[in-house]
Amino acid sequence: MIRHYTVVDDPQLRNQLWEMAERVFVPICEETPINQFYPREMFEQFLVTEDIFKCVVFDGDIPCGFGLITERIEHEPILNPYYFRKKFPGVPTFLVMLICIDPQSRADLIGCELLRHVVSYVPQDGIAIFVHSDLHNGNIPRFGKFATRGRMDGEKVDAESCWIYRWIKPRGLPQRPCADLEETTVGEVALV
């Protein structure tokens, strides 16, 4: 059974959702330097914020999955509202904030039905945004197309990358950055 909430006011349910999200997202976060989750305080606030819609899947009385969606994309700081206003003027724009399926459940069946409920908030002329790690959660595009039975399609419009540089040849480099540069006049630099 899937229940829809504007506010999750039951503290026990909020705690169960947090614990499930930790089981799902901590292993992903341990594998990628770009955060894939929210701090607990922010997560708890999302559950009681009325402009974020919540869909919770239950197996009996036990939650086994949930999704969050909002039309307020500013809830995700990585998203740039200027881009969406320019590229999609007047188009209802929704952010799928989280899709979380308890790893101990039948993830494929629950996930598809949950995602259908979550994207049902997006009107016919609207768009849904998913932000995820390509390397460690790259099945989102396939999953989205399958779950919506081909009625929604998407394209990758950008990629946030995280590059980690480390010294492989520390010898032979200047002791301080730009040690080989000499200031000649204000604002001009010449190689020595």
pLDDT per residue rounded down to tens, the chain (192 residues):
999 999 999 999 999 999 999 998 888 888 877 777 889 999 999 999 999 999 999 999 999 999 999 999 998 888 889 998 999 999 999 988 988 988 877 666 788 888 889 988 998 898 888 876 666 555 666 666 666 666 666 666 666 555 656 566 655 555 555 555 554 444 444 444
**Structural domain includes residue 177:** no
**Structural domain includes residue 176:** no
**Structural domain includes residue 123:** yes
pTM: 0.76
Task: Considering only CA atoms, give the Rg of the chain.
Answer: 22
Length of the chain: 192
Provide the residue range defining the domain that includes 91. 2-165
Instruction: Please name which of 128, 129, 111 lies closest in space to residue 120, comparing C-alpha atoms.
Output: 128
**Structural domain includes residue 29:** yes
Residue 50, domain CATH:
3.40.630.30
**Structural domain includes residue 180:** no
Strand partners, 177: none
Whether 99 contacts 2, CB under 8 Å: no
Alpha carbons 63 and 33: distance in angstroms, whole number: 29
**Structural domain includes residue 189:** no
**Structural domain includes residue 133:** yes
| Overall number of domains in the chain | 1
**pLDDT given at position 89:** 94
**Structural domain includes residue 34:** yes
Q: In degrees to the nearest 10, what's the CA dihedral of 172, 175, 178, 180?
A: -60
